[in-house]
A and B are shown apart, each in its own frame.
Chain A
């Protein structure tokens, strides 16, 4: 089974409520994760503010943090490989990395999901 690990930055209310723009990017990303779960990917998500241990214990994450600083967050790791730093990948990118066709339709497509914005 494929695995996807997301290391999120510390944010005050990362529900989006406290971000400077009411930002549905986070929600879109969350819906992409739901889709991947339905497709059988094991998804884990860690927040620096509440699970700092997860960051300290993973040598790849810790090393990237030391090299790039917190700008590397969110850090997305698929099957042990870094997929993206400092941004949330699109559904297309995630599917490609994990070998899940975007048309796979494991679950109903989430409303408003963006395809790609390069």
Chain B
């Protein structure tokens, strides 16, 4: 483990949800403290389980971990920090302005950008603060600022209030303007991020194609921003016991293939491989064995089996009842929502319905795969990258043409925000849905509640100006009420039977509910629960799933279904044509 041999002061761990950033950063923090260093461990995951890992109640101030001398830990919740920022802006006006005006300010500040900036504010306070620097040898973070945030901070226009005065007064940097007093602190933080003697950025990934590709993108993006001191952790690599268990053998083969095909840049990084654990890493002893334990200790005798849930065929039985309509699969990256969408489309078509399938994964080749299916299944593709490019070109040619160089740079960065991608994709799939009123349309993405609320506000506004200006396109106007119609639209929230994906899916559900949309069903994907297994490690993993399957069925889902792990259709290879074809 590179970061243990030559540890820099700041250690960041980045990667998508569920790859084990928190476990890895905890283990690193414990190892450094055990070597006599004084360490601060910071978790910025809103669903952080550090308290559970260390069996110590934590707050947003450093707290000593009694089992590990010299280690202190804290939880920082960027959502809460963003909420506090929102309240600072809105609070004073609650009694002064009408309720709908206050609500519209709040929604504007509810986007992903505000949370990202609020998270950076927390990083900056910790890494830019001299007192903190004196108190600890190392600060370990279980996440890292995004490229979008770092680029924004680098723009002079972000700080000049340019948009506040000359165009329309708001952009992603709105929150920054509210924090302008912090500028020096932010500059110091950005400088230390790109100093290889001070900061190491460790990319954490599973041995899966899509996760590795995302790590590659992050690596390139950070390097372009000057953050070049990077390392790679491959977490949860599976080593089967013997060759008796076909599931174990298939899983192992799939991981080897993904590692062999690893993209060039991350393949060249210093790499640490961490073995798959039979159960969640909880407790200081488990953390001390984190880097070396291939067996994960002894496996409990015959772990209990998780409850069963209705299967995929039953989900499709229910979806087909309307005879037509929109089915959207939704979930964070890596939960297999593209595969699930393809399977639903193929199954509906096989049952004789007219179906149109659209996916947003440009590498999915679903079109090729489903080409073998009867004419009642058509398919298309929405490529988010192309949609954003098209959208960006359009906005730069119109709005951008009227701005000076600083203004254009800031507008370009606004156009790189997560909100922009969502809007661009939303417009594209509004067109797709419009195409097909007499059939099933299956899409592998769904808009967030935030987008729906913004579009709704924009729609109300455009109603007023319709005579004068061009209005919201017909496709968008027709789509909004349909999204809210449970007889027409059904959202299937996809998750894995693991802590982080379940919490992320629950957050997506809360956000949809804000916009008056109730997901139709939850699908637990790639589950070991329905499988016959003999490998002891997989048996233990299967038992572990029970807790999350219960949580989905009892706490979150109106209707819960389960789809077993299957060779060739897990997230790692969901895009390869042969494999998608096999389900057809």
Contact = CB atoms under 8 A, between A and B. Distances in A.
A51 B92 CA distance: 12
Contacts of B215: none
Contact of B417 (A8, A17, A31): A17
Contacts of B92: 52-53
A12 B401 contact: no
B469 A18 contact: no
Interface in A35-50: 45-50
B108, B113, B455, B473 — most chain A CB neighbours (10 Å): B108
B306 to A, nearest CB: 41
B200 to A, nearest CB: 33
A13 B167 CA distance: 11
Nearest to A24: B398
B520 interface: no
Interface in A51-80: 51-53, 55-56, 62, 65-66, 69-71, 73
Interface stretch (B280-288, B310-318, B456-464): B456-464
B414 interface: yes
Given A15-B411, A70-B101, A86 B464 contact: yes
Nearest to B465: A87
Name the interface size band of chain B: 35 or more
Contacts of B462: 20
A8 B539 CA distance: 59
Contacts of B168: 8, 11, 14-16, 26, 30, 45, 47
B169 interface: yes
A21 B473 contact: yes
Contacts of A13: 170-172, 414, 417, 419-420
B49 to A, nearest CB: 32
Nearest to B403: A27
A90 B92 CA distance: 34
A98 B109 CA distance: 35
Contacts of A110: 402
A118 interface: yes
B105 interface: yes
Interface string B463-503: 01101111011001000000000000000000000000000
B60 interface: no
Given A52-B90, A70-B101, A16 B399 contact: yes
Contact of B108 (A49, A53, A87, A90): A49
B402 A52 contact: no
Nearest to B104: A10
B394 interface: yes
B96 A62 contact: yes
B427 interface: yes
Contact of B391 (A22, A45, A118): A22
Contacts of B459: 20
B68 interface: no
Contacts of B107: 10
Interface string B437-464: 0000000000000000011011111101
B31 to A, nearest CB: 43
A56 B469 contact: no
Contacts of A24: 398-399
A48 B101 contact: yes
Nearest to A31: B402
Interface residues of A, number: 49
Contacts of B104: 9-10, 48-49, 70
A9 B96 contact: no
B165 interface: yes
Contacts, number: 191
A104 interface: no
B89 A52 contact: yes
B415 A17 contact: yes
Interface string B347-391: 000000000000000000000000000000000000000000001
Interface string B410-445: 110011010110010011000000000000000000
A19 B171 CA distance: 11
A15 B171 contact: yes
A18 B426 CA distance: 11
Contacts of B93: 52-53, 55-56
B101 to A, nearest CB: 5
Contacts of B101: 48, 52, 55, 65, 69-70
Contacts of A16: 168, 395, 398-399
Contacts of A49: 89, 104-105, 108-109, 169-170, 174
Residue in A16, A51, A66 whose Cβ sees the most chain B Cβ within 10 Å = A16
A99 interface: no
Nearest to A113: B402
A18 B414 contact: yes
A46 B169 CA distance: 7
Contact of A10 (B105, B468, B473): B105
B398 A117 contact: no
Contacts of B391: 22
A101 B286 CA distance: 78
Contacts of B470: 21, 23, 25
Contact of A27 (B177, B402, B410): B402
B164 A50 contact: yes
A12 B163 CA distance: 13
B98 interface: yes
A77 B419 CA distance: 31
B460 A71 contact: yes
A27 B163 CA distance: 12
Nearest to A111: B401
Nearest to B476: A20
Given A19-B458, A25-B470, A88 B166 contact: no
26 contacts: A10-B105, A12-B170, A13-B420, A15-B171, A15-B395, A15-B399, A15-B414, A16-B168, A18-B423, A18-B454, A20-B427, A23-B469, A25-B469, A26-B399, A27-B401, A30-B166, A31-B402, A45-B165, A49-B104, A49-B108, A49-B109, A52-B90, A52-B97, A65-B101, A86-B465, A117-B467
Given A20-B455, A30-B402, A50-B177, 13 more contacts: A10-B170, A11-B458, A12-B170, A14-B170, A20-B462, A22-B391, A45-B165, A69-B98, A70-B100, A70-B101, A87-B464, A87-B469, A88-B469
Query: Which 8 pairs, one residue from A and one from B, show the smallest C-beta to C-beta distance?
Result: A47-B169, A24-B398, A86-B464, A56-B96, A14-B168, A10-B108, A49-B108, A27-B399
